[in-house]
Structure 1
Amino acid sequence: MILTKKTLAPILLGSLLTLAACGNGEEADTENGTDTGAGNEGTTESVEVATEGFPIVEETITLSLMAPGLGLSEWEDMPTLQEYSELTNIEFEYTTPPQSDFATRLNLAFASQELPDIIYAGGPNTLNASAEVDYGSQGLLLPLEDMLEEYAPNFYALMEENPEIRQSITTTDGHIYALPSIVRGDTSSWIMGPVWYNGAWLDALGVEELPQTTEEFYELMVRFRDEDPNGNGQQDEIPISDINMNGLRGWMMPAFGIKGWGIEEHNGEARYTFATENFRGYLEFMNRLYSEGLLDQETFSQSTEQKQAKGENNQIGVFQDWFSYFTTGRSEEEAINDPMYGPLTSEYQETPLMPIDSGIKRGTFALTSENPHPEASLRWIDYFYTEEGYEFINLGPEGYLWEWEDEEGGTRVFNEEIDPDSREEYRGSITPAYGITIPGLSIELDPIGGERSAFSDFLLEETQEKIEAHGEVIFPQVYLTPEEQEEVTDIKSELETYVVENEAAFITGNIELNDDNWNDYISTLENLGVRRFEEIHQDAYDRWVEAGENN
């Protein structure tokens, strides 16, 4: 969405009116709440917090904030944050260790209890689900749920619109300790980069319809192997290639009724996908492809660079990557000819099925027990849960990355002084919304100075047709109790090591996939605790469902 004077959100219009009124010595027409300094017993002076509009507080307050930094610019020098501080009357002391050191620094802060007021962009890898539960139960993170409706109305509205958000961020003790990033965009449903067909090969063989079943897929792969689709007169084609099945697995297993890696929800039950007959069906099919030379014989030994070289040499027919041209080396325009792999059906899965991401990235904004102004802090972040707020944090203010060409019409153009080849890096120097998962509503923005590209339209159409039309979330984002988490961590590591080793052995034929070997495989999983692993996740799933029913 392009920001125009006609489409400004009421909150921003209220901001401008408030500022104008204050500048004329008139009293702002806003409702105010009192920031009591909850969570910091040393705070003796409360501040009035405007529940709508800007500024958030009349007298400037200063808070401390810790976030992962990328080293392109100091956060206090970023014009986006500077202008937002002027608008809100909230200033910050920033601690931004390198992204690679952020987890260590944050853990040390918790261990020493020398905490910042705000943890920004902490999750989902650092301030993850178990950390939220652990630090929240210790009183080191503030519960936010009772303040959201009044001081984070934009985020609260998103929760009301999509109850799964509340379910996914409410911990086992009933509290919300961190706000998420809500991602909505053309590719936000992808669990990872999709699988692609080599469109040039399809054209060479006159293929007009893509496979709909596993058997049709197999037949096409045989044609890729035998009919010289790359046209060089040599039988050097590799129908399917991957690295350790890490790219293909997640997209091919749904043909056998499996939504994803590890724990999945299946008809209301939590099951470990690699301990099912469906997984055996997947292994049998992949072994068939491997044994007949349809799956790259170097799948379990090659490097990313080796696979890339094959792709650029036009030797691969089916492959996984974020965009197809990352593998083929072709242009973006040529990549429109590479169709996305769609869902296949089989005796295990009679209707099309594809995994999708929930679009909820947890742990991106938390307030610690040291925060003297939690209500003001929530008001500060809440603006970024609007489209206009995301546009501001993502693109920065006028006069840096972009300028108005037609402000009334909402048309922007890039600043001509910025080298087009360095625009993205420059953007990372003016706003924190670069290379990290920031809190807020993340949406697909219209391009500056032009229309959407044909490739963007192609991606959207393929995603809607091939993924979203058949999509199911693999497993909801649940929370485990500290005791459950400790138990799961021990079991999970051993399960995954064993599964990965045996997947490769079964597919390559190093272990024959017969009844005896399969039964031995399942018995070993059970000895490693797979049924307890499922039981714990079933309990967590039931709590998640109950939380939805109670809200």
Structure 2
Amino acid sequence: MNQWKKEVSCGAVGKRYTKAIEDIRTETPRKKRNGQARMVILKNAKNSLFLNSKTADVLKAHKRERKSESLIEKNIDLFLLSQSAIFSKQPRIVFTTIRRKKMKKRTRKFVAGALSALMAATLLSGCGAPATSGTSSQAASQSVSVNTGTRDLGGLTLPIANGDVSITIMRSDGSLTERGKSLNDSTFASIDAIRANTGIDVQFKAYSGDAYNDALNTALASGSELPDVFVSGNADLTKLAKDGIVANLKDYINEENTPNLMRFFEKYPEVYGAITAPGGGIYGLPNRMSPYDAEYSALVLGYRKDWAENVGITEAPQTIEDWYNMLVAFRDGDPNGNGDTEDEIPFVCSHYNKIYNFSLAYGMSPWSNWFSVIDDKVCYDFTSEENSEKAKAYLTEMNKWYKEGLLDPDINIDHGDKAEAMLLGNQGGAEANWTSYWPYYNSQMAADFGDVEWVTAMPPEGPFGDRAYENYPPYNNERWIITTANEHIVETLKLYDYVFATEEGYMLATLGVEGDTYTIENGEVKLTDKIINNEYGSISAAIAMETGEAFPAMLERGYMESVLGSELSDSEKQTLADASQYYRTMFPNVIATQEESDLISTKMTDIQTYQQEMFYKFILGDESLDNYDAFVEQLKSMGIDEVVAVKQAQYDRFIGK
């Protein structure tokens, strides 16, 4: 047992933590404390093998004793809760949580268990539990109900079964385990409601992080330990179908089994096209999707508006030249105002791909693995007649920025923890990230840097007139896949129809139980105090902890506005609306034939490795851009044109050509 774990048991965590913070307080200027204090917490968190309830109790007690100190308040929250989407989207910053208990075999009928859990929730909400915002505890308890009677939802008859059908879903629950819960053995009221309403005993085999991929690969390779359903975004469905692992659902999807899903496909025929394999088979269904996603969440460039104003820049950057001038001002103008002109990092890169968004100003498609579509023609950005010279111009500009100290010196290295410490420590002026990060940064920095204002930037226009942000299509490549081991394929598809395509089902799957996590007022979703004033640092994290994000779902506007929209200011929403005219959808997710899959896997591994290596050699100055033409020729000799031909065939199938 290491020293840190020993200290957990004797209650010394608070003392050790306090001393580290006190050292920082006495020896460091105030504006640098936040980032350094956070690094102490990260270090100690990584040294611990697990965060148990005693540790939490010690630190919470310490927090109560020292709550007059805002710095300690904020950073204890960071340590205890892994507060934001940053921690769930950057797996390198992982707070290991309580070891999962082995799932106990149920000894009671499932429906009785689901009813009991929901009845208990009802009784608690009516007997002293805090009332939610805008509703009394009595009203909330009446909303927590189970509809077990026979009824019709758009042609789907409920219940689907009578407790005699059980299915097991294998999936990741990494974001839950980081916060101390698991689909395997935790209670979720919304999941119990779905079980009771459908009459299907849904069980989970959930794993966190890389453990899920390892377990899934083992199960698929053996073919003998298959779950009924698994969720995956990178499974070779054509091969798995050929090997008899996954079921072809085409003949099961019809008006009798999936009436609501059929109407969904009529509304979104492109989704049906995307999940249909060559030959007509359907081997997986969309897991989660939303046609409104880009209105609330986009992968964009963001910057410190307050820093820009501090160095005399009052207009938002609109071009690559504007960005260059702003970053130079961040480098030279002491925008954080601490008297040190050498401690700012103008553009922070937590991961190697954080400068990719600037390539969009050169007509490139970085988030499509550099495969662009121009007038229905697929091309590879670095080798194509259309984009190769633009790619060279982009690399030349980034090389200039790097040499002039405008970019993170660790630009080619993943260093999420270090980068976040710089950003929250008032040392970073801009980065590329999801829009949800800006309100997180603003809230975390407000206590120490009250005028901080991270904002979304419009996509910059490049020297050739290109301007874009590249976004995911409404459907991503993650699929809900039924295996041939499933003895209840029809009932499983009816369950999917319920949670994905009926209002009752997707509200339970995405928002939880009405009256507990949300209410409906004048036809609009209103989140309760339980969600708004949560302990997890973001609305989306709080919702995930209530629903488990366990089921596929169509994320309707009510969810997007109440969950993602609630974290954006009106000005941010307006910027996203203005930027939407420049949105470009990533290369479509098209199911490959076996031959296509074999060729891509054979060629692209070496091509991507070489392209990535040379990409950063050019930018860092380790390779002269005079050798760019040789780089292009090498890519061609490695077979990139053959891959482009495959991508063209896939795109043609997608558009029905």
Identify whether the pair has TM-score above 0.5, normalized to the shorter chain.
yes
Note the alpha carbon deviations across 1:469-517, whole angstroms, 9 max, x for none.
2111121111222222122123222122212221222112222212xx1
Partner Cα separation in structure 2 for residue 123 and residue 498 of structure 1: 27
Contact 2:296 2:560 in 1 (8 A): no
Question: CA, structure 1 residues 66+240, in 2 after alignment: closer, same or farther (shift >3 Å)?
Answer: closer
Per-residue deviation, 1:252: 0.7
Q: Given the alignment, which residue of 282, 286, 289 partners 2:401?
A: 289
The 5-angstrom pairing of residues 146-225 of structure 1 reads 146-150=251-255, 151-184=257-290, 187-188=293-294, 193-225=299-331
Note the alpha carbon deviations across 1:410-464, whole angstroms, 9 max, x for none.
7663459x99326988865653316xxx422124546999996473544433322
Question: CA, structure 1 residues 374+336, in 2 after alignment: closer, same or farther (shift >3 Å)?
Answer: farther
Partner Cα separation in structure 1 for residue 491 and residue 333 of structure 2: 67
2:429 is the alignment partner of 1:347? no
Q: Give, as a single letter, the amino acid of the residue that structure 2 aligns with 1:232.
A: N
Corresponding residue of 1:142? 247
2:495 is the alignment partner of 1:380? yes
Q: Give, as a single letter, the amino acid of the residue that structure 2 aligns with 1:484.
A: E
SS at match of 1:225: helix
Corresponding residue of 2:553? 440
Partner Cα separation in structure 2 for residue 504 and residue 219 of structure 1: 23
Corresponding residue of 2:214? 104
Per-residue deviation, 1:170: 1.0
Q: Given the alignment, which residue of 464, 473, 480 partners 1:358?
A: 473
Q: Given the alignment, which residue of 380, 384, 387 partners 1:272?
A: 380
TM-score, normalising length: structure 1: 0.78
TM-score, normalising length: structure 2: 0.66
Per-residue deviation, 1:178: 0.7
Partner Cα separation in structure 1 for residue 289 and residue 652 of structure 2: 25
Corresponding residue of 2:534? 420
Provide the alpha-carbon RMSD of the alignment: 3.8
Corresponding residue of 2:428? 316
Which is worse superposed, 176-185 or 292-301?
292-301
Note the alpha carbon deviations across 1:320-368, whole angstroms, 9 max, x for none.
23413666752399698322122222332x2532211102133432222
Corresponding residue of 1:10? none
Corresponding residue of 1:238? 345
SS at match of 1:238: coil
Query: With CA pairs under 8 Å and 6+ residues apart, which has the higher RCO, 1 or 2?
Result: 1
Contact 2:307 2:330 in 1 (8 A): yes
Corresponding residue of 1:455? 568
Partner Cα separation in structure 2 for residue 471 and residue 100 of structure 1: 32
Contact 1:182 1:440 in 2 (8 A): yes
Which is worse superposed, 314-323 or 162-171?
314-323
Note the alpha carbon deviations across 1:70-121, whole angstroms, 9 max, x for none.
552454754333332222222245433445333333333333333556314x
Corresponding residue of 1:497? 609
Q: Give, as a single letter, the amino acid of the residue that structure 2 aligns with 1:330.
A: M
Partner Cα separation in structure 1 for residue 491 and residue 425 of structure 2: 57
Unmatched tracts of structure 1, length 5 or more: 5-14, 23-27, 32-49
Corresponding residue of 2:194? 84
Contact 2:284 2:482 in 1 (8 A): yes
Note the alpha carbon deviations across 1:119-174, whole angstroms, 9 max, x for none.
14x1214xx2x2x1111223332222333231223333232222221121111222
Question: CA, structure 1 residues 185+105, in 2 after alignment: closer, same or farther (shift >3 Å)?
Answer: same
Q: Give, as a single letter, the amino acid of the residue that structure 1 aligns with 2:345.
A: I
Corresponding residue of 2:511? 395
Question: CA, structure 1 residues 102+536, in 2 after alignment: closer, same or farther (shift >3 Å)?
Answer: same
Contact 1:179 1:365 in 2 (8 A): yes
Partner Cα separation in structure 2 for residue 513 and residue 498 of structure 1: 15
Partner Cα separation in structure 1 for residue 555 and residue 159 of structure 2: 24
Contact 2:362 2:462 in 1 (8 A): yes
SS at match of 1:240: coil
Q: Give, as a single letter, the amino acid of the residue that structure 2 aligns with 1:345.
A: E
Q: Give, as a single letter, the amino acid of the residue that structure 2 aligns with 1:229.
A: P
Partner Cα separation in structure 1 for residue 338 and residue 349 of structure 2: 23
Contact 1:196 1:340 in 2 (8 A): yes
Q: Give, as a single letter, the amino acid of the residue that structure 2 aligns with 1:413.
A: T
Contact 1:119 1:364 in 2 (8 A): no
Unmatched tracts of structure 2, length 5 or more: 1-132, 136-145
Per-residue deviation, 1:540: 1.7
Partner Cα separation in structure 1 for residue 441 and residue 518 of structure 2: 35
Which is worse superposed, 373-382 or 149-158?
149-158
Which is worse superposed, 479-488 or 446-455?
446-455
Partner Cα separation in structure 2 for residue 90 and residue 319 of structure 1: 46
2:615 is the alignment partner of 1:525? no
Contact 1:55 1:87 in 2 (8 A): yes
Q: Give, as a single letter, the amino acid of the residue that structure 2 aligns with 1:347.
A: P
Partner Cα separation in structure 1 for residue 421 and residue 297 of structure 2: 25
Per-residue deviation, 1:255: 0.6
Q: Give, as a single letter, the amino acid of the residue that structure 2 aligns with 1:441.
A: M
Partner Cα separation in structure 2 for residue 314 and residue 59 of structure 1: 56
Q: Give, as a single letter, the amino acid of the residue that structure 2 aligns with 1:494.
A: D
Contact 2:220 2:226 in 1 (8 A): no
Contact 1:73 1:428 in 2 (8 A): no
